[in-house]
Chain A
Amino acid sequence: MIQLNNLERSYKSPAGQFWVLRRINLEIREGEFITIMGPSGAGKSSLLNVLALLDDGWQGEYWFRGQAAHEMKRKQRSELAKRNIGMVFQSYHLLDELTVRENIDLPLSYKDIPHKQRQGMVADTLDRFQIVAKKDLFPSQLSGGQQQLVGVARAVIHKPAFLLADEPTGNLHSSQAKEIMELFRELNRQGTTIVQVTHSETNAAYGSRTIQLRDGWMVADTANPDLEAYEAVKQ
């Protein structure tokens, strides 16, 4: 589904070039549930942002279902992301001025979808996530878990093929976290390819594959035992 070849990301700083991702070669197949782990500053969120096509400053190749994202302009990438990718954030990033229903409807409002169809999709999603009773509440009126639930609902309403989650349970209690992870598992079972970033081993256990990053390098991949140790690669 996704192929990254020699993908790198760096920033210029007064001290010189600062690398956050180094020669990432990664293949993500349809239906996988991948966990990306690593210490702080390893480049986990940076990799997730690249996968989400939120970041443009990378070099290398990024193939999405055979399409060369690395050759696309910003607008084309946005369209690609809009159609195929959903994102769940650690801080939920719900809009405080919008109700639950309106937050869930938000991604649809940026697509050319007829109004009635949108209404139907929102209704279905509310029902699917069992939050119909809360549709007219504002985020400040929900618990953390409920907010994240809405965040997930918003991320999947347009049935993306690819769901990215950046520390989705980072701000939740364990029981709420379990609920969210179970939801992810169910979505994956239904065919959604999921990539999550997490520090939690418990959460990682829900996935089918774990990738380790360190200092921007991919140092381990449970799907690729032949991955060279990063010390050797660094040399």
Chain B
Amino acid sequence: MHMNVLSQDIRYGLRQLRNNPGFTAIVVFTLALAIGVNTAIFSIVDALMLRSLPYSHPDRIGTIFTRISGPILSDERHHIDGEQWELLRDEVPALISAVSGTRTSGVNLEAASHVQYVQAGRVSEHYLDVLSIDPVMGRNFSHTEDLPHAPKTAILSYGLWRKAFDADPHVVGRSVLLRGEPYTVIGVLPEDATTPLNADVYTALQPTRQGEGGGTNFDCVTRLRDGATWPEADSQINRAWLHRADRYELGDNPGAQVSYYSVPLQKGQTATLRPQVLALMLAAGFILLIACANLASLTLVRVLRRTPEIATRMALGASRWQIQKQLWIENLLLALVGGTVGVAVGFGALRGLILLLPEHFLPVSRLSLDTRELAFTGFVSIATSILFGMLPAFATRRLDLRSAMANRMSEAGEGMNLRQGLITGEVALTVLLLAAAGLLARTLIHLETLPPGFNAEGVMTAKASLDDARYHDAAAFRKLLSESTEAMRQIPGVQYAAVGLSLPYERELNSGGITISDGKEAGRDVIGDEVYVTPDYFAVLQIPLLSGRAFTESDGANTQPVAIVNQSFVLKAFHGQNPVGRHLNKNQVIVGVVRDVAMVPGLDNYHLPLSTEETMYIPAAQMGGWNLELLHIWFQPSWIVRTSRPIEGLTARMQRALASVDPSLPFSGFHRMDDLLAKTLATQRVEVALLTTMAALALLLSAVGIFGLVANMVRQQTREIGIRIALGSTIREAMIHIGVPGLRASVLGLFMGLVLCAGGLRVMRSVLYGIGVYDGATIASVVVVLASVTLVAATVPTLRIARIDPARTLREE
């Protein structure tokens, strides 16, 4: 019997929706947008923070955070050095530990005479064990293979195996050329295997305390052994690491307290992204609240118009609960339809998001819309229907049956105060969203318009991996650079060609310490960056030379070692005094000073997306072979050409020029400098795009809400307006009388929104650059935009007043 009643209510509800297509369309559209946005953002939150990592017992996999309390506070994941690794491996029996390079590097893989550029990850022997990944073919790295100078072996990802090796079932044991050296394939990973590195091919890291291990260049992952606990592991880690000789954590923090603790790997991988993603989820939540407020208002009006029907039902025996149940079922049907369409919107939004997001934005996890997201959508739909259905349902609780059945309702409109309150809330939230979006947009503009320090017009760049045994030799390296740049200069239209280890808008190599050898600063170390360049580097990028000279072809391997420094270096090391002629690192002579260029900082200002740092440029020809091997694991140099005009097929010609020197060395990709800037600021661009979209949506919804409120007032007060006009009121006066409540609600909402901003915007401090949290221009713009939109939304519906015929109104009266 209850099922029959329920199916009857559902049937009546569907009929109501069908017979009111305009109302249904607006509600479904509003809900679909709001629920769709929430579903898409939740997918990111789910992938980032909620979904378990795709490994066995993911709660037993972790990484290590360092907590430093001193003059400079820090609580985050650090890279570790070779000494820490060996102590972790040998003195922390509670864990199975492994390390890897901090990121993949692009390398050249040659198999069956075909060379391709792939991403290689370097991992220690138990890396796959920690992640509980067993190769589907072959085996894991052995202990021997992870020792220095061991035979070179490689494990392929499933995708690479299929693509580059045609899924050869006999690939295990095959020899391939990787980094110019023969590697033996020992295994293939399963199809669904994914690691934090997300590499195409894995090789043994062979970590030691020297070379790469002499600095903090490793990431560690750990798994609790059976029977061990995390507190136990943390205790062992602290015992092992706190008595090391070199405590780099105290470098800038002498006397600080340092401790180490394990965190789940998922948290460790995503710690830096969480604040932004949670902010997006909050913004999406605001959108949903605004949508619910709008819908509550719309539904309230509609329910109040149905008051005679509701009163009749109650007169025929319906209880209040039965009436409310029916209203809630109608709302639920709307919410479910809206939610279903919202899934489609969410899917579309997610696909758009995936295109927007930087590569490997989500460590390990993949973005998808599956049962979890659908369940979330279902939950949000139901919660939404309850939220926006609650107010209208409560509005009928104090129904006066007699007046309702006689259709004698207050002419000002029942629930008007409630609706105005909803408008106020909507506008307040919209102010907050608009202000946040405005601040982020201004930050992005600031970053994009920072003085670059060079001329990006007419420049094409291409990277190639020199993580190749053939170029560990300095002479071979010099020959490659010299001949390839000469070949590129022969391309018609090319003005200059050069090579640099890194480009503007990229991170540079942290040298670890450049010593001043003479003068009153003698012996002082300057922490800065080092970039090797060929002679035309400054010319090709048009980086102004401020003093001295640029490098020439005569600055070679057997001549006086020279260096060029930038403005920041001069300021920090020489207090602004011209350093040309001074000596660094015992025998390097400074021959020139160049302007700073915008780059991705890695030292003091590492939290900024773009900045300048103290940089020392050295001739590529004077790079010693001993450090080329390590350098090219971390960095891929860029070939740069400047052209006087657009050249058709330039990239192919550059590739041919390189191939004329080394046919088995491909470029990994071509980029204009604008592309590099876009890539560097990708996160900021995504944040701005998303938040601006949501703020615009909130503004639209608020405007619709105000419009609806005033339009409804015009409709309900037609009789009163007609009488007022008949008694002498002008149209303008009538319009003001009707439009004022909507404007009043908006102004109050604006004021409340500014109050919300005073507290709420402070959390954005860490993501704003170049402007303050309470930037006057941004806040003023928000006020102007919102005021304009609400004025239009409150005024347009009142234009209908001009069409009211007082005589007809009075006749009907």
Instruction: Using CB atoms and an 8 Å cutoff, list the residues of chain A in contact with chain B.
Output: 49, 52, 54-55, 75, 78, 81-82, 87, 89, 93, 95-98, 102, 106-107, 109-112, 114-115, 154
- Whether A154 contacts B316 by the Cβ 8 Å rule is yes
Tell me the nearest residue of chain B to A105, going by C-beta: B8
The complex places the Cα of A111 from the Cα of B15 at a distance, in Å, of 22
**Nearest CB to that of A117 among chain B residues?**
B1
* Contact between chains at B308 and A110 (CB < 8 Å): no
- A-B contacts, 5 of them at CB < 8 A, read A54-B315, A87-B316, A89-B312, A106-B313, A111-B317
Q: Which of A75, A93, A96, A112 contacts B405 (CB 8 A)?
A: A93
Chain A minimum-CB-distance residue to B323: A110
Q: Which chain A residues border B740 with CB–CB below 8 Å?
A: none
Interface centre among A49, A97, A111 (most CB of B within 10 A): A97
Given the known interface contacts A54-B315, A107-B316, the answer about A97 and B1 at a Cβ–Cβ threshold of 8 Å is: no
B19 within 8 A of A: yes
The chain A residue with its CB closest to the CB of B20 is A97
The interface residues of chain A lying within 8 Å CB-to-CB of B4 are: 115
Chain B window 1-13, contacts with chain A (Cβ cutoff 8 Å), 1 for yes, 0 for no: 1001100100010
B313 surroundings in chain A (CB, below 8 A): 95, 106, 110
Contact A110 B315 (CB under 8 A): no
* A97–B317 CA distance with the chains assembled, in angstroms: 18
Q: Considering the chains assembled together, what is the distance between the CA atoms of A60 and B193 in angstroms?
A: 82
> Any chain A CB within 8 A of the CB of B401?
yes
Report whether A93 and B12 are in contact in the complex, using a CB–CB cutoff of 8 Å.
no
Q: How far is the CB of B2 from chain A (nearest CB, A)?
A: 10
Asked if A95 meets B309 with Cβ closer than 8 Å, knowing A49-B402, A109-B5, A112-B1, the reply is yes
Interface centre among B1, B315, B322 (most CB of A within 10 A): B315
Interface residues of B in 260-319 (CB under 8 A from A): 308-309, 312-313, 315-319
Contacting residues, chain A, for B729 (C-beta < 8 A): none
A93 contacts B308, C-beta separation under 8 Å: yes
Partner of B12, one of A78, A87, A89, A97: A97
Chain B count of residues within 8 A CB distance of the other chain: 21
Cβ of B16 within 8 Å of any chain A Cβ, yes or no, is yes
Find the B residue at minimum CB distance from A92: B312
Q: Is there contact, CB below 8 Å, between A97 and B316?
A: no
Task: Give the residue name and chain of the A residue nearest to B308 (CB).
Answer: A93
A to B contact number (C-beta, < 8 Å): 50
Give B residues with C-beta under 8 Å from A: 1, 4-5, 8, 12, 15-16, 19, 308-309, 312-313, 315-319, 322, 401-402, 405
Whether B12 contacts A98 by the Cβ 8 Å rule is yes
Q: Which residues of B contact A78 (CB under 8 A)?
A: 317, 319
Contact residues in B for A96 (Cβ distance below 8 Å):
309
Nearest CB of chain A from residue B216's CB, rounded to whole Å: 72
Are B1 and A115 in contact, with the CB atoms below 8 A? yes
**From A49, A75, A93, residue with most partner B Cβ within 10 Å:** A93
- Alpha-carbon separation in the docked complex, A154 to B316 (Å): 9
- Neighbouring A residues of B309 by C-beta, 8 Å: 95-97
- Report, nearest first, the 7 A-B pairs whose CB atoms are least far apart: A82-B317, A110-B317, A115-B4, A93-B312, A107-B316, A110-B318, A54-B401
A89 pairs with B319, CB closer than 8 A: no
The answer for the CA separation of A55 and B400 in the assembled complex, in Å, is 8
- What chain A residues lie within 8 Å of B405 (beta carbons)? 89, 93
Chain A residues closer than 8 Å to B317, beta-carbon distance: 78, 81-82, 107, 110-111
A93 to B307, CA, bound (A): 12
CB-CB under 8 A from B401, the residues of chain A are 49, 54-55
Give 9 A-B pairs besides A52-B315, A97-B19, A110-B318 with Cβ atoms closer than 8 angstroms.
A49-B402, A75-B319, A81-B317, A93-B312, A93-B405, A98-B12, A110-B313, A112-B1, A114-B1
Bound CA span A112–B316, Å: 14
Complex CA distance for A14 and B454, rounded to whole angstroms: 81
Rounded to whole Å, the gap between the CB of A69 and the closest CB of chain B is: 16
**How far apart are the CA atoms of A54 and B313 in the complex, in Å?**
12
A96 to B309, alpha carbons, bound, how many Å? Answer: 9
Q: In the assembled complex, which residues on chain A have CB atoms less than 8 Å from the CB atom of B16? A: 97
Q: Which residues of A contact B319 (CB under 8 A)?
A: 75, 78, 110
CB distance from B401 to the nearest CB of A (A): 5
CA A25 to CA B9, docked complex, whole Å: 42
Q: Tell me the bound Cα distance from A136 to B537 in angstroms.
A: 86
Question: Whole-angstrom distance between the alpha carbons of A106 and B4 in the complex?
Answer: 13
Closest to B2 in A: A112
List the B side residues contacting A109 at CB < 8 Å: 5, 8
How many Å lie between the Cα of A78 and that of B319 in the bound state?
Answer: 8
User: Shortest beta-carbon distance, B717 to chain A, in Å?
Assistant: 22
Shortest CB-to-CB span from A108 to chain B, Å, is 9
Nearest Cβ distance between residue B318 and chain A, in whole angstroms? 5
Chain B residues in 8 Å Cβ range of A52: 315
